[in-house]
Chains A and B, each alone.
Chain A
Amino acid sequence: MIDDQDIIIVDEPELTATERLYLPQIIDGMRTTLRHMFKKTITLQYPEQKREQRIENYRGVHRLNRDEEGRVACVACFMCQTACPAHCIHIVGTESPWDDREKYPLQFDIDELRCIYCGMCEEACPVDAIELTPEYDLVGRTRDEMILDKEKLLEVFDRTVALKPRKNPKISGYAGTGDRDGCQSAGGGQ
């Protein structure tokens, strides 16, 4: 509860003589804008020039990482789909043809128009298979085009891996999260 005595009423500051005249203030302002007219511009001509980015931090288009053998690193655990606040990830998991994991994604779609680029999927992923890249100029002519499937997401990885290497390249399958028997030996990461 706020009492009257807790309230401090602050007066509007009294105008000084020059402020009340208004004109000196105008001239001051015009001097400022005139000075800016001859300043160097900081504009970048976007498509030709591009801004320096903080590659590691930027949250742009997603990619699906490949492991060292070139396979998709995802184990179809649905963690990212569950974590996604925008519900833009759709995974169809199936039995893995490889020995080091039980499942792999048959289908992995991200609706880039629906995504809010919060990075929760990246944080949720136990095998660091999904990552956000510094690529920000994703365009398309239709909505369908903006739904990236597994192949396209892997392509994004191939495109950006030189710029931003995979965080934990050692992790694939259960190598980083424990063995198949569920023994939590290695913990998270290398």
Chain B
Amino acid sequence: MVELLKDQFWFSALMTVGIVVALLTAQAYSIYFERKISAWIQDRIGPNRVGPLGLLQPLADGGKFLLKEDIIPANVDKPLFLLAPMIAFGVAMIGFAVLPWGGNVDLDADGAVDVAAQVADPGIGLLYILGIGSLSVYGVVLGGWANNNKYAFFAAMRSTAQMLSYEIPMGMAIVVVVITAGTLRLEDIVLSQIGDGHVWNIVLHPFAFFILLVTLFAETNRTPFDLAEAEQELVGGYHTEYGALKFGMFFLGEYAHMITGSGFIVVLFLGGWHLPGVPGLQPGDVSVGAMLLKITVMAGKIAAFMFLFMWVRWTLPRFRFDQLMRLSWQGLLPISMALAGYATVLVYLGKSTSIPWALGGNIVLLALTLVISQLRQTPVTGRQTNMPAISLTSPAKAR
């Protein structure tokens, strides 16, 4: 058995099975925790009837999705209607293939590294994740299109525009990391944040981290960027016509997407499976136990981000569409471009791992952003643009 697993292929196969099982469970329980956290924030208890503490609630939900009547409305584009949830779900699942979970592993304890605890380790891992992330917009767009429902179509259109707009600052924020690390291989990006004179990228580039976080919220269609699911305006959003398990797949896909996004940001900015100063979590620790510890640490970091996603969702109201676009094009994009430019300067000067240099630039940029944002006029909102150009101050009473 161990001999077989020493082959990367079979080890990857085992990892795949493990990750898929863990991921499906994690998605189901994300929904449970979403409901719990929303309840706690609203001074409620949340699901607590099905099983102890309501822990069997995801099973009950899954059973409900499975057993409901699977309706295909009469005037939908049938192939696309069936394809959309598959794309939404499948694309969200395969993003995990390149996440580095536990570094290198020495399975038989003979001192030689046998395999990497990762399903696939392509040199372009980061591009792969970006590509897969962009594909996920197809699930939303096809879902909205195939529905033959104008509200769902509106949702799909909004979602497309939103995802395209936020992919650019996202890419720029990632470029900062890529330039600093000098590689696209995710495991190498993790390793570049470890060791003497190296720190996690969040310490070097907190601004880029923040931009990536914001764009991830937008990419995963989470509040405050969930315009594609604005129930008040769009009935239900792009999945209005979906029911039963097809809706369930959209639903699970959203959470899978969130988990991938969290894993992505953990790898890029928070050192992946690494915790500074903790034995067993260093690149040199290659035993099986160290691998399990690393996987736990990685999962814990991802869970922390999932909590952040949910916390924000139940705190913030949704953006208006013009605010959403302005934030991306006039706010995040220029800042992230400046950051990427600054990262190249740092590399040119050979200071890319110097905390004072990187952090100082970030602080200067932050100060600049604050000054500019204060100098700019408060933007004219949609309602005001249609008003005649009159003085808005009250005229003196003539009486």
The count of residues in chain B whose C-beta lies closer than 8 Å to any C-beta of chain A is: 24
B41 lies within 8 A of chain A by Cβ: yes
Do A5 and B378 touch across chains, with their CB atoms under 8 A apart? no
Do A9 and B393 touch across chains, with their CB atoms under 8 A apart? yes
Do B373 and A26 touch across chains, with their CB atoms under 8 A apart? no
Interface string of A1-32 (1 = CB under 8 A from B): 00011001111001101001100001001101
B42 lies within 8 A of chain A by Cβ: yes
Do B378 and A20 touch across chains, with their CB atoms under 8 A apart? yes
A33 lies within 8 A of chain B by Cβ: yes
A141 lies within 8 A of chain B by Cβ: no
Do A36 and B393 touch across chains, with their CB atoms under 8 A apart? no
Interface hits, B1-60 → A, CB 8 Å: 37, 39-45
Among residues of A, the one whose C-beta sits closest to the C-beta of B45 is A43
Contact-residue size bin, chain A (C-beta under 8 Å from the other chain):
20 to 34
Count the A-B residue pairs with Cβ separation under 8 angstroms: how many?
52
Do A10 and B394 touch across chains, with their CB atoms under 8 A apart? yes
Among residues of A, the one whose C-beta sits closest to the C-beta of B376 is A20
- Given A20-B373, A20-B374, A20-B378; A33-B41 close (CB under 8 Å): yes
Nearest chain B CB to A19's CB is how many angstroms away?
9
B278 lies within 8 A of chain A by Cβ: no
Nearest chain A CB to B31's CB is how many angstroms away?
18
Among residues of A, the one whose C-beta sits closest to the C-beta of B40 is A37
- Given A17-B374, A21-B373; A30-B41 close (CB under 8 Å): no
A34 lies within 8 A of chain B by Cβ: yes
Nearest chain A CB to B398's CB is how many angstroms away?
5
Nearest chain B CB to A114's CB is how many angstroms away?
31
Q: How far is the CA of A38 from the CA of B399 in the complex (A)?
A: 57
Q: How far is the CA of A41 from the CA of B38 in the complex (A)?
A: 12
Among residues of B, the one whose C-beta sits closest to the C-beta of A29 is B315
Q: Which residues of A contact B (CB under 8 A)?
A: 4-5, 8-11, 14-15, 17, 20-21, 26, 29-30, 32-34, 36-43
Known contacts A29-B316, A43-B44, then 4 further A-B pairs from the complex at CB < 8 Å, ordered by chain A residue: A4-B395, A11-B393, A37-B37, A40-B43
